[in-house]
Amino acid sequence: MKPAHGELYIGLMSGTSLDGIDGVLMDLGSPPLWRSLAHAHQPFDPALKRTLLALNTPGSNELHLAALAAQDLVKSCSQVVTKVCARAGVTPAQIRAIGAHGQTVRHRPELGYTLQLNAPAVLAELTGIDVVADFRSRDVAAGGQGAPLVPAFHQALFEHPTETVVVLNVGGMANLSILRAPHPPLGFDCGPGNALMDAWCEQHTGQAYDEDGAWGAQGQVNPVALDVALSDPFFALPPPKSTGRDLFNPSWLQQWLNHANLAHQSAQDVQATLCELTARSAAVAVKAFAPSARQLVVCGGGALNGALMQRLQTNLPGVLVQPSDAHGLPVMQVEAAAFAWLAQRHVHHLVGNVPQVTGAKGARVLGALYPA
């Protein structure tokens, strides 16, 4: 099969959920004909996942461990690239560039940095394809949060000419894009996504995540504990704002459990409350910043959690809550596709950030090129 256009890009994303790497081969020849040609997902090796999780908090020998983890990460990335090329029937020579996000291990824009583990030179060497990486630091250098970066892509993909559309990406954290044609999009992190639920589920069931939310759905939301969680100062911050495992992590979870007196609450009740926290914090943000919205497009792994999708719909009764599949791109492909798009923006020296979203001083071309 020969693709119809010559603008083929691969996007690679491994998010804060730490579930693995998603790779999407996108034909970005000309909108609105953009399409996904192939997708591949590769779970993290358990040892790599443990290392990446450990690197989210201070520890010994971090520089050495981070360098080795970055190399292991891009070796897996190269395997994903091989898979998507094979599934689409294309050769590396036909790919213009790879957009490789890397793995976020620290996000401290208030201190002037965000850190994504990556080894883009190694990835270019392994794949024979140009690699665009380090997307966030240019925005941070311009005074921005460096996140979220997906609202511009969401605008290009999901915007409606006359209606406000909200896109909710639920990975480890959750972020909103508010699309208000003809105005620039708004966007910000609205709270935890899957990270706290996944950590609690693994601790109590041994499973990496709560499939379809079925385990937590057997519990009951504790309204007092929910209010305690929502009292975290992050939720009251105005945009631009972003967050990560630097805040919503096992330590935050334990402090919340102690403060809310949940020591004797059932594990499933806690999981149900964490699920409601993700849904409620997103819904509150939608009502505050997009009160006229009638569509919520949900993507990321959280869109596969049936209990979470039901809670979102309950919290937003006048809004149609749908997975992104209903709008042309499967939920597990959207974020990787965004970094394919951002790679294309870099190659053509086009702006990738939205200053109204990140708080940067102005529009910037994002990323750095590592030629093959």
| DSSP β-ladder status, 97-100 and 173-179 | unpaired
Angstrom distance (rounded) from CA 319 to CA 296: 7
What is the per-residue pLDDT across 177-227, written as a single tens digit (0 to 9) for each? 999 999 999 999 999 999 999 999 999 999 999 999 999 999 999 999 999
Residue 32, pLDDT > 80, answer no
Q: Comparing C-alpha atoms, which of 98, 127, 111, 113 is closest to residue 23?
A: 98
- 27-37 burial, b at 16+ Cβ within 10 Å, e below that, comes to bbeeeeebbbb
Looking at residue 33, its pLDDT comes to 62
Given a cut of 60, whether residue 82 has pLDDT beyond it is yes
More confident site: 29 or 245: 245
Kind and range of the H or E run holding 370: strand 368-370
Residues above pLDDT 70, as percent of the chain: 98
The pLDDT tens digits of the residues spanning 224-243 come to 999 999 999 999 999 999 99
Where residue 15 falls among pLDDT bands split at 50, 70, 90?
confident
The confidence band for 370, taking pLDDT boundaries of 50, 70 and 90, is: very high
Closest CA to 290 of 172, 183, 138, 140: 183
Q: How confident is the model at residue 34 (pLDDT cuts 50, 70, 90)?
A: confident
**What radius of gyration, in Å, describes the C-alpha atoms of the chain?**
20
pLDDT attached to residue 19: 87
- At residue 178, the 3 state secondary structure works out as strand
Q: Quote the Cα angle for 319-161-300, to 5°.
A: 50
Percentage of the chain exceeding pLDDT 90? 93
Residue carrying structure tokens 């790879």: 98
For the record, the structure tokens of 289 come out as 């910043």
For domain 8-145+359-370, give the fold.
Nucleotidyltransferase; domain 5 (3.30.420)
Q: What is the pTM of this model?
A: 0.93
The DSSP bridge partners found for residue 227 are: none
Backbone angles phi, psi at 265, to 5 degrees: -80, 145
C-alpha–C-alpha distance, residues 212 and 208, integer Å: 12
CA 30 and chain centroid, separation: 25
Could you give the strand order of the β-sheet that contains 295-299, starting from the edge strand earlier in sequence?
186-192, 173-179, 165-170, 295-299, 320-323
Q: List pLDDT tens digits, range 108-155.
A: 999 999 999 999 999 999 999 999 999 999 999 999 999 999 999 999
Q: What CA–CA distance (Å, rounded) separates 359 from 190?
A: 15
Mean pLDDT within 156-183: 95
What pLDDT, on the 0 to 100 scale, is given for residue 69?
A: 96
Over residues 294-344, the pLDDT tens digits come to 999 999 999 999 999 999 999 999 999 999 999 999 999 999 999 999 999
* CATH H-level, domain 151-327: superfamily: ATPase, nucleotide binding domain (3.30.420.40)
Using alpha carbons only, give the angle 51, 57, 61 rounded to the nearest 5 degrees.
Answer: 60
How far apart are alpha carbons 79 and 67 in whole angstroms? 19
CA distances from 99 to 34, 166, 372 (A): 16, 25, 13
Query: Where do the CATH 3.30.420.40 domains begin and end in the chain?
Result: 8-145+359-370, 151-327
pLDDT at 5: 47
Cα–Cα distance between 139 and 242 in angstroms, integer? Answer: 13
